[in-house]
Amino acid sequence: MGLALALNSARTSLLATSAQIAVAARNTAGASDPFYSRKIANLVAAGGGSAVSIQRATDVALFDRKLAGTSSVAASEAVLGGLTTLQGTIGDTSDGTSPAARLGALNAALKAAANQPDDVALARDAVDRARDLATSLNNSAAAVEIVRMQADADLAESVSRINDLLSQFEAANQVVTRGTANGSDVTDALDDRDRILAGLSQEIGISTVVRAGNDVAIYTDSGVPLFERAARRVSFTPTPAFSAGTTGGAVIVDGVPVTGANSPMPVQSGRIAGLAELRDGVATRYESQLDGIAANLVDAFSEIGTSVLNQSTGQVSGLSALATTEAFRPGAAAGTAGTADLSGAKEVAFSLSLADGSAVKIVLNASTMAGAAADLSKVTPAELVAAINGRIAADTATPSLAGKVTAGLDTAGRLTFTTAAATGAAARLTVQNMAPTSGRMLVDVGFGVAFGVPPRAAGLFVADAGGSVPSGPFAATGLAARLRINASVDPQRGGDVALLRDGGIAGAGYRSNPAATGGNAFADRLRTLASLVTADRSFDASAGLPTRGSLQDFATASVGWLAGKRQAATAESNYQSTLLARASDAYSNATGVNTDDETASTLALERSYTASAKLLTLVNDLLKTLMDAVR
């Protein structure tokens, strides 16, 4: 080997070793950075010596798995956070603050009041428990809206971060592509770009495509472009206020909605996917359950009018008094007073109908009453009732009224009509006058719609102005937030708690206690109210719970649903976190820095550097000797 060649070899070896030592030092310095990838200094032949080419350790498949895991964890944690807030605010059946626990307390209070109907304190306690239940539903509904509002605000923050990260990525990508084009070391720039991708994957599920020149395109996990040569705009309009039924805005990427029911390409993971599911899915489903409880409370505890004809006065209870009633003769002489004259052309005619469409026309005259009364000129109330029930039983129409309505006399001697169902659509009985065919009617024709049951009205629980009742036991939107106890039975607002026992919360025409005064022992209504909590009812399928069951069952199932959702979200979060940890470990093992290895490599490089330095010194000494000899 010539001295010149030896000198050049020693010099290039020193430079290469120095570069390798510098790379090892970079690796050691970046060992604690989770986004730093190990740099590899490769020796390549150059100019009769060697040079260093720097590469970075990478594993595309593991990195993609890490990004997917990051997105999944962010989504599950967003849902879990909202569910934890809801359950912490609402509680469960064991701590007495949930709607289910409050409903159980109301049921117990109603049973206690039914056992001692003359005890005002027990009636007051039942009203207080009803107030607690309404307040619990109000608070639960408010908690849902707070969670939805916070999720909406978090979506706005997430979108802001996405736009910022895309802007950073655009700058980092330009550094990489330009450096790649002119042969510069871009390994650190690639680390910076991956760091931005990892942050972006927390906010939204992404996939990446590496193109020529180290360029990268980014898409949502549903395929909407986020970055292609340039960042695409991500937009979101926050909702200023939330109430039941409010639909939050969608996150829009490059003009395409990626969240919401109308999204053609909804994202599947990332923080915004979890927040959208919390705001528009989990929270609204729980809200519909609360509204279902409230709607069924109003429906179950509503009052049905007691429109009945008094045979001694000729008046309809709960409606205006009739001017005249010819068939009954309250003022007649002894022997005919309180009876009906259906002899000759005289008749009683009216119709009965239920909300299910079943109806029957009742016509009682000399023809239809033949054999039903001993004396058609003096038909007794019992004979009249038997004849009416006979006409109902004979109904063969479809649907038939037979077996659904029964005529009778109450303790005051009034003609009454009752239905087989205590509440709901099946109990909405209407008694309507008909045009007479001859003679006089039981109800004066000139009165118009004289003989009708007052409309069903809200009783213990009210939610809307005028005390309206939901048209069926369904989840009326927003009812849980508006639920109150009726002012007429609320002692805090001047109400009378005795109405809970007697009925008439909705007005005098809804009174159940047959005794106008002194009916303190009347317990039938209280027992009926208590039974309503455990009676089988229908519920709306949109609540995501069984559609048949009692109010108590439904409320308990709702609490269980929320707890189950939180438990499932916790399990999902733990599972995804475990997957992410394993993916991160695998990626770190493949691309990360092992300080022990770097230390050993540095020591070996230092020995190589020392050898090269000695060779350089030796060549220098030989050259010096040669020059001295020449001189």
| Rounded Cα gap, residues 457 and 428, in angstroms | 11
Residue 466 has pLDDT above 70, yes or no: no
Model confidence at 371, pLDDT cuts 50, 70, 90, reads confident
First and final CA of the chain: distance in angstroms?
Answer: 24
Per-residue pLDDT at 363: 81
Q: Name the 3-class secondary structure at 631.
A: coil
Per-residue pLDDT at 399: 86
Question: Which letter does DSSP use for residue 252 in this model?
Answer: E
Residue 528 has pLDDT above 90, yes or no: no
CA 275 to chain centre: 13
Q: What is the mean pLDDT of the chain?
A: 78
| Rounded Cα gap, residues 358 and 351, in angstroms | 11
User: Which of the two residues, 34 and 101, has the higher pLDDT score?
Assistant: 101
Residue 426 has pLDDT above 80, yes or no: no
Q: How large is the average pLDDT for residues 443-453?
A: 30
> What's the angle, vertex CA 361, arms to CA 357 and CA 364, rounded to 5?
160
Model confidence at 314, pLDDT cuts 50, 70, 90, reads very low
Measured from the Cβ of residue 202, the count of other Cβ atoms closer than 10 Å reads 22
pLDDT per position as a tens digit, 78-87: 999 999 988 8
169, 227 in Cβ contact below 8 A? Answer: yes
The fraction of the chain above a pLDDT of 70, given in percent, is: 70
Per-residue pLDDT at 473: 44
Report the interhelical angle of 595-630 vs 3-29 (nearest 10°): 160
User: Which of the two residues, 383 and 317, has the higher pLDDT score?
Assistant: 383
| Rounded Cα gap, residues 390 and 546, in angstroms | 40
Q: How large is the average pLDDT for residues 392-405?
A: 86
Residue 348 has pLDDT above 80, yes or no: no
Give the residue from 591, 613, 599, 592 showing the smallest Cα distance to 17: 613
Residue 474 has pLDDT above 60, yes or no: no
Residue 105 has pLDDT above 50, yes or no: yes
**What's the one-letter identity of residue 313?**
T
Per-residue pLDDT at 182: 87
| Rounded Cα gap, residues 139 and 131, in angstroms | 12
Per-residue pLDDT at 312: 37
Q: How large is the average pLDDT for residues 111-120?
A: 91
Range among 28-42, 80-94, 258-272, 340-354 with highest mean pLDDT value = 258-272
Residue 100 has pLDDT above 80, yes or no: yes
Q: Record the pTM.
A: 0.70
Residue 335: left (phi > 0), alpha (psi -120 to 50), or beta?
left
Per-residue pLDDT at 46: 57
Q: How large is the average pLDDT for residues 503-509?
A: 78
Q: How large is the average pLDDT for residues 485-490?
A: 91
Per-residue pLDDT at 357: 74
pLDDT per position as a tens digit, 268-283: 999 999 999 999 999 9
**What's the one-letter identity of residue 500?**
L
pLDDT per position as a tens digit, 170-189: 999 999 999 988 888 888 88
| Rounded Cα gap, residues 264 and 258, in angstroms | 7
pLDDT per position as a tens digit, 565-619: 999 999 999 999 998 889 888 887 777 666 666 666 666 656 665 666 666 676 6
Q: How large is the average pLDDT for residues 335-363?
A: 73
The fraction of the chain above a pLDDT of 90, given in percent, is: 29
The H-assigned helical ranges of 467-547 are 479-482, 498-502, 524-534
Model confidence at 226, pLDDT cuts 50, 70, 90, reads very high
| Rounded Cα gap, residues 460 and 122, in angstroms | 15
| Rounded Cα gap, residues 555 and 433, in angstroms | 42
**What's the one-letter identity of residue 396?**
T
Q: How large is the average pLDDT for residues 310-334?
A: 38
| Rounded Cα gap, residues 191 and 189, in angstroms | 5
Per-residue pLDDT at 614: 65
Look-up of token digits 């039981």: 442
| Rounded Cα gap, residues 210 and 621, in angstroms | 53
Cα torsion at 383, 388, 389, 392 (round to 10°)? Answer: 160
Of the given ranges (198-207, 440-449, 586-595), which has the lowest mean pLDDT? 440-449
Query: Per-domain residue ranges for the chain?
Result: 3-57+593-630, 309-447
Per-residue pLDDT at 438: 47
CA 76 to chain centre: 16
Evaluated on CA atoms 94, 98, 104, 106, the torsion sign reads positive
pLDDT per position as a tens digit, 241-297: 888 778 889 999 989 999 988 889 999 999 999 999 999 999 999 998 999 899 889
Give the residue from 97, 128, 100 showing the smallest Cα distance to 550: 100
Q: Rounded to the nearest 5°, which phi and psi values hold at 484?
A: -140, 170
Per-residue pLDDT at 503: 83
Q: What would you report as the CA-atom Rg of the chain, rounded to the nearest whole angstrom?
A: 42
Look-up of token digits 């926050």: 238
